[in-house]
Structure 1
Amino acid sequence: MRKLIKRLHWLDYVIVAVIVGFAAVIVLRIGGALNYDWRWEKIPNYMFRYRESEDRWVANLLVQGLVATIRISIYASILALILGVILGIARCSVNLTIRMLARTYLEFLRNVPPVVVIFIFFFFLSEQLIQAMNMERWAREIARSDSNAVWTFLFGDMRRFPALISGIIVLALFESAFVGEIVRAGIQSVEKGQREAARSIGMSHFQELRYIVLPQALRKVLPPLANQFISLVKDSSLVSLISVPDLTFKTVELVASTRLIFEAWLTAAGFYFVVCFGLSVLFRRLERR
């Protein structure tokens, strides 16, 4: 902490003072002009509540939404990475048809507003897929069974499993377009001479990708991929539009039932900041290694 203080410039103190002053003006305006009654003491009750029937503290609306957001972000990140790598490789394919199909998919998603994409994929793909697989009935049967502890740990309330899966699929399909372009740029950044050398020693196209191109490309694309996954956490709030019970959806419920408008949204913003900042620190350490 002392080393950090010594490195601070006088301009840093000015910036901090301006930010603090700006925040103070906003708080005073809300309390004065809007005649808003701050009730921060009620927020902890909506993070955790005491369940007398089980004699223990359990997660309430805000923490439930935070956990759901983390689940959605993790699963959507994994699926988006898999799809993005496939799309990135397809964008560099020697086959014109494969290359054009991948480019069409990427260009469409990157140039259409995310809200529109969310609704298109939800109603025309994920919702149809869930109905075709009869996933709602399967999830209800697991929810009623006594041995659902593992499923609950991985996916939360199994009665909301179809909505969770819809959110994961929709978010992954949207984010995979950006991951695909990042992977494509990483593959094309590898020098052609290395590919020619791989072919000269008899490597197949798959071996060239597996042993020469992808290891170098993935190392180069780690920083932009890290930024994209942090953006994915923030973009996960969009799935609340299709009734997925994430942090944003739970915050809307809390505001509607208690009118704790500023307290609830500031708390939700704090949760998003902690998650995204933690990921930023983690990825920064990975980049150094």
Structure 2
Amino acid sequence: MPSFLKKLKIADYVIAAILVAFFGYVALTVEGKLNYEWRWELIPNYILRYREDQDVWFANLLLQGLFNTIRISIYASVLALILGTILGIARTAENLTVRMLARTYLELLRNIPPVVIVFIFFFFLSQQLIDWLNLDRWARGIARSDNVHIWEFFFGEMRRFPSLIAGVIVLALFESAFVGEIVRAGIQSIPQGQREAARSIGMSRLQEMRYIVLPQAMKKVVPPMANQFITLIKDSSIISLISVQELTYKTVELVASTRLIFEAWLTTAAFYFVICFTLSMLFRRLERQR
């Protein structure tokens, strides 16, 4: 018997039985009262599909959306970490103007609904940046090139590249506000005595932050940063509102074309759960090894 099963008690089995009964009741209610016909056998075909004319398997709608969600989450996390670190340092700057500008940005983003922020950033910033850089023309050129497969591995379908970049920018700008507060808290947790000691030996503020404060602060903020990364994955569903081809957007497409309402959304929920739960377990293990 697996070791984790030995740790379970009677109450755990009771709770598990209640959950199974609850979900069974919901399924029967949907099928009976709503006269809904479950068609789970169709879902695998929208994850992986076999193309007989080419004798290959290819990723269908849901798997395409999942890959894009992973790409967007990774790129947005890196950008949010960079921007958030800058904001966190700015929040602790000696210059009052710098502190107030950083605080204004953070407070605005933390107190406005995410949907509103997404639309504002998309129409007034990311879309303008994409047009200014002429990314549409560049992406179409890449899509016609011989090495398009390498680009598609990192960015998905290149004709959709501008929308992916827009999603990354919007998500990173939104999440950077929360990362900035985490970094600010980490910096302020460093004892003042260490900072005074650094200045007493002639270190500049830049050297103090680089060699003394930030290395210690970043170690302290690893747990909340990990949690924020998981939150970012879930928040990535918001950018489906600006037609970014991620998992939620692809699910909407699937539901609209097949009417597999419950099957599609339950499958999508399972995908999000598996990703977030796996990362949660991974980060928890890494914290124990620190």
Q: TM-score range by the shorter chain?
A: over 0.9
Partner of 2:47: 47
In the other structure, the counterpart of 1:142 is 142
Which residue identity is paired with 1:80? A
Counterpart for residue 103 of structure 2: 103
Measure how far apart 1:149 and its partner are. Answer: 2.0
Q: Write the distance in 2 (CA, Å) between the matches of 1:152 and 1:81.
A: 24
SS at match of 1:119: helix
114-123 vs 19-28, which moves further: 19-28
Separation in structure 1 between the aligned mates of residue 32 and residue 165 of structure 2, nearest angstrom: 44
Between 146-155 and 262-271, report the one with greater CA deviation. 146-155
- Matched with 1:224 is 224
State the 1:2 CA deviation. Answer: 3.1
The residue that corresponds to 1:176 in the other structure is 176
How far apart, in 1, do the equivalents of 2:87 and 2:129 lie?
Answer: 21
Summarize the alignment of residues 68-147 of structure 1 with structure 2, pairs less than 5 Å apart: 68-147=68-147
How many residue pairs get aligned? The number is 289
Q: Which runs of 5+ in 2 are unaligned?
A: none
1:24 is aligned to 24
**2:35 match: secondary structure:** coil
Kindly report the root-mean-square deviation, in angstroms, between the aligned alpha carbons of the 2 structures.
0.9
Q: Work out the CA distance in 1 between the residues paired with 2:132 and 2:229.
A: 30
Identity %: 72
**Cα shift at 1:15:** 1.4
Does residue 252 of the first structure (1) align with residue 252 of the second (2)? yes
1:234, CA displacement in angstroms? 0.3
Match for 2:38: what amino acid?
W
Alignment of 1:195-206 (within 5 A): 195-206=195-206
Deviation at 1:54?
2.7
Per-residue deviation, residues 255-283 of structure 1 (Å, max 9, x unmatched): 00000000000000000011101111111
Amino acid of the structure 2 residue aligned with 1:180: G
- Aligned mates of 1:250, 1:244 — CA distance in 2: 9
Q: Note the C-alpha offset of 1:17.
A: 1.5
Equivalent residue, structure 1, for 2:238: 238
Structure 1 alignment gaps of length 5 or more: none
Of 213-222 and 176-185, the range deviating more from structure 2? 213-222
Q: How far did residue 222 of structure 1 move?
A: 0.7
1: distance between equivalents of 2:197 and 2:58? 60
SS in 1 for 2:221: helix
Aligned letter for 1:37? E
1: CA distance between counterparts of 2:121 and 2:212? 35
Give the CA deviation at 1:176: 0.2
User: Which residue of structure 2 lines up, in the alignment, with residue 273 of structure 1?
Assistant: 273
| Matching residue's letter, 1:88 | G
Which whole-Å CA distance do the structure 1 matches of 2:215 and 2:192 have between them? 15
Instruction: Give, in angstroms, the shift of residue 166 of structure 1.
Output: 0.3
Superposed CA deviations along residues 25-73 of structure 1, whole A, max 9, x for unmatched, are 1011001101110000000110111223432100000000000000000
1:76 Cα deviation after fit: 0.3
